[in-house]
Amino acid sequence: MGNLVVVGADGSSSSLAAVGTAAREAQRRRAALRVVYAINWPVRPMYAPLDTTPLNRLISEAADHARRVAPEVTVTEAMLPGDTVSVLEA
């Protein structure tokens, strides 16, 4: 089996359930877990810079949830640019 389980988080209750399931799956596989938030924000001069503080908090809370579910699993977190499907596939 693979040595990395990847799960997306968006702050919803269903994504937290997915994070919990992914944590248990990582534990079963003896794998690490990466909790990912995909951000698809226009990066052009006409747009104001995005304050990622709330998003950082969201991904951190999801990773903390995974650590509570499976404390022995190594959990990392990442906020990556791109559409959700592409980010999770990568």
DSSP E strands, 1-90: 4-8, 32-39, 75-81
Burial of 46 (0-12, 13-18, 19+ CB in 10 A): exposed
Instruction: Give the CATH number, domain containing residue 12.
Output: 3.40.50.620
Please tell me the total count of domains within the chain.
1
Tell me the pLDDT tens digit for each residue of 75-84: 999 988 888 8
pTM of the model: 0.83
Q: In this predicted model, which residue has the larger pLDDT, 61 or 48?
A: 61
- Looking at residue 57, its amino acid is R
CA angle 39, 57, 60 (to 5 degrees): 90
Strand pairing category for 4-8 and 32-39 = parallel
User: Nearest CA to 88 among 49, 35, 25, 28?
Assistant: 35
Tell me the pLDDT tens digit for each residue of 10-46: 989 999 999 999 999 999 999 999 999 988 776 566 6
- What residue numbers bound the domain in which 62 lies? 4-89
